[in-house]
Amino acid sequence: MSKESAQNFMKMIGEGGELQDKVKAAVESYSGNKTDPKEVFDNVISPIAKEKGFDITFDDAKEFLGIAGDGELSVETLKNTAGGFKWPWK
C-alpha cells in the first residue's frame, strides 16, 4: 500500500498547483542539509504527505520514482514523468 500511496502523492505534486507550490517552498526554506535527499524527504516532504493523508517513506518514494542507489532515474521513469517539479535529489 505504501508504494501506491507514494504514487498517488507524487502524482498530486506532479499535477502542479497549490501542493506543488507548498512542497517547493518548504524545500527551498529548509535550513538543514539539502544535499541529503533522505533528510529532506523525512523532514520536509513526509510531513506534507502526512497532512494529505499519505504515509510514505523515503524508500517508497525512491522505488516509485525508479531511483537507483546512485540517484539516477530509470529510462521508464523519465518517460512517465510529467510536470516541471524537480525533486530535491537527482
The domain ranges of the chain are 2-80
The pTM of the whole model exceeds 0.95 = no
Q: Three-class SS of residue 73?
A: strand
Kindly state the cell numbers that stand for 31: 535550513
Q: Three-class SS of residue 18?
A: helix
Q: What backbone torsions phi and psi does residue 67 show, to the nearest 5 degrees? A: -90, 125
Q: What backbone torsions phi and psi does residue 73 show, to the nearest 5 degrees? A: -85, 145
Residue-wise pLDDT tens digits, 74-90? 555 544 544 445 555 54
Angle (nearest 5°) at CA 21 between 17 and 25: 175
The reported pLDDT for the residue numbered 74 is 53
Give the pLDDT mean for 53-75: 71
